[in-house]
C-alpha cells in the first residue's frame, strides 16, 4: 500500500522479528532522532492555551509557542 503511494517505509528491526529489513541504516538514523520531535510536541500539549488555541491573532499564537518553548527550556536547566 505504501509503495503504491511512493512512500518508503522506515521500519526498525525488532528483537522478535529476526528477518532482515530492507533498510541500510541511513534512514534508521532519522527514525532514532524522531523521538526528540515527538517528545517536544507532547511537552507543548501541557500548555492548554496552545492546545485549545484561544489566541486567534496571527502575532500572538507564535509568541505563545516561543514562550512555552522558553519555559520548557528553563524548566529543564
| 70, part of any domain | yes
Task: Express the helix, strand and coil content of the chain in percent, nearest 5 each.
Answer: 55, 0, 45
CA dihedral 18, 33, 24, 1 (to 10 degrees): 70
pLDDT in tens, 15-69: 776 655 566 666 667 677 778 888 888 888 988 888 888 877 888 888 998 999 9
| 69, part of any domain | yes
8 A C-beta contact, residue 9 and residue 21: no
The domain in which residue 30 lies consists of 26-76
| 19, part of any domain | no
CA distance 20 to 23: 9
pLDDT band at 12 (very low <50, low <70, confident <90, very high): low
CA distance 12 to 29: 10
Amino acid at each position: 500500500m505504501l509503495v503504491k503511494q511512493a512512500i518508503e517505509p522506515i521500519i526498525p528491526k525488532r528483537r522478535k522479528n529476526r528477518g532482515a529489513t530492507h533498510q541500510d541504516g541511513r534512514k534508521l538514523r532519522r527514525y532514532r532522532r524522531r523521538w526528540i520531535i515527538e517528545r517536544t510536541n507532547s511537552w507543548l500539549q501541557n500548555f492548554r492555551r496552545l492546545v485549545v488555541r484561544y489566541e486567534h491573532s496571527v502575532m500572538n499564537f507564535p509568541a505563545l509557542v516561543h514562550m512555552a518553548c522558553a519555559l520548557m527550556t528553563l524548566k529543564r536547566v
